[in-house]
């Protein structure tokens, strides 16, 4: 199947600093990318949806000025956690999808990355 | 908005037994229902999905059923093996490729 990578796989940063997480679709062009966060032993919570070349759509309760999302190309989206605090420590997972109709490789069109573990000290 | 409930939260079975996980959803506009398996420290992996125009789908030891009238869908794993141990999530979306709302997950433990 299609591959989505994330970098870094884990990061430790100090409170008050900013951290950038990259999400790349390696062998397909992703018209839409999604960002989720997952606390330990909990479910994935959708943070935002981003389409290439346009502003991200944030879910209710997600601060867009704190979680900056840039979808500069069809293969790359970045999530920047600004002025990180310990409560931002979480597992951040991206997914990438091809719009129905454009998919040609499999029966589903959303592919998840391996996740990034962020720890803010 | 959509709300997905998943039960049970934990499930322990003996190797070779069957495991069933059930989910309900609230938004009748949802038409796509995937199931994901997540191992510790990794991203979720799709194991099977079903669309609203289908009532049942099977792939080897894994099957999913959908009752759109009752708004519930279930995952069935037969002949479980220790390597099936993981956290399983159900999800719902308008269509494949769109944002998904996840259930809270089921931790499946298969003992040999």
Exposed / middle / buried, residue A48 (Cβ in 10 Å: 0-12, 13-18, 19+): buried
Q: Residue B16 pLDDT more than 80?
A: yes
- B61-64 LR contacts (CB < 8 Å, sep 24+): B62/B35, B64/B33, B64/B35
User: Each residue of A45-79: pLDDT tens digit?
Assistant: 999 999 888 889 999 999 999 999 998 888 999 99
With beta carbons under 8 A apart, name residues in chain A contacting B49. Answer: 107-108
Determine the length of chain B.
Answer: 112
Reduced to 3 states, what is the DSSP secondary structure of residue B71? Answer: coil
- pLDDT at residue A105 in the model: 45
- Report yes or no: A119 at the B interface, CB cutoff 8 Å: no
Q: Residue A106 pLDDT more than 50?
A: no
Most confident region among A2-11, B7-16, B88-97 by mean pLDDT: B7-16
Alpha carbon distances (Å) from A61 to A45, A47, A66, A67, B83 = 11, 9, 11, 11, 37
Strands B86-92, B32-38: parallel, antiparallel or unpaired by DSSP? antiparallel
Exposed / middle / buried, residue A76 (Cβ in 10 Å: 0-12, 13-18, 19+): middle
- pLDDT at residue A101 in the model: 52
Give the whole-angstrom CA distance, residue A46 versus residue B45: 16
Given B49, B89, B95, which is nearest A44 (Cβ)?
Answer: B89
Instruction: Give the confidence band of A107 by pLDDT, cuts at 50, 70, 90.
Output: very low
Given A43, A44, A100, which is nearest B96 (Cβ)?
Answer: A100
Instruction: Give the confidence band of A99 by pLDDT, cuts at 50, 70, 90.
Output: low
- pLDDT at residue B53 in the model: 85
Give the residue from B52, B83, B47 showing the smallest Cα distance to B62.
B47
Nearest CA in chain B to A117: B41
User: Each residue of B28-49: pLDDT tens digit?
Assistant: 999 999 999 999 989 999 999 9
- Report yes or no: A100 at the B interface, CB cutoff 8 Å: yes
Report the mean per-residue pLDDT for chain B.
95
- pLDDT at residue B98 in the model: 85
């Amino acid at each position: 199947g299609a591959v989505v990578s994330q970098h870094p796989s884990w990061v430790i940063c100090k409170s008050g600093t900013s951290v950038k997480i990259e999400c790349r679709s390696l062998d397909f062009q992703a018209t839409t990318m999604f960002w989720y966060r997952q606390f330990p032993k909990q479910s994935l919570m959708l943070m935002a949806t981003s389409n290439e070349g346009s502003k991200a759509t944030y879910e209710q309760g997600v601060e867009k000025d704190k979680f900056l999302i840039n979808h500069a190309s069809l293969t790359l989206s970045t999530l920047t956690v600004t002025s990180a605090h310990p409560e931002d420590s979480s597992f951040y997972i991206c997914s990438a999808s091809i719009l129905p109709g454009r998919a040609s490789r499999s029966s589903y069109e959303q592919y998840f990355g391996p996740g990034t573990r962020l720890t803010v000290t | 908005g959509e709300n997905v409930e998943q039960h049970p939260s934990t499930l322990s079975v003996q190797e070779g037994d069957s495991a069933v996980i059930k989910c309900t959803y609230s938004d009748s506009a949802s038409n796509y229902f995937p199931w994901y398996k997540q191992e510790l420290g990794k991203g979720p992996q799709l194991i099977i999905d079903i669309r609203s125009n289908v009532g049942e789908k099977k792939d080897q030891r894994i099957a999913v059923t959908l009752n759109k009238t009752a708004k519930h869908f279930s995952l069935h794993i037969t002949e479980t093996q220790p390597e099936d141990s993981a956290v399983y999530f159900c999800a719902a979306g308008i269509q494949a490729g769109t944002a998904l709302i996840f259930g809270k997950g089921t931790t499946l433990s298969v003992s040999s």
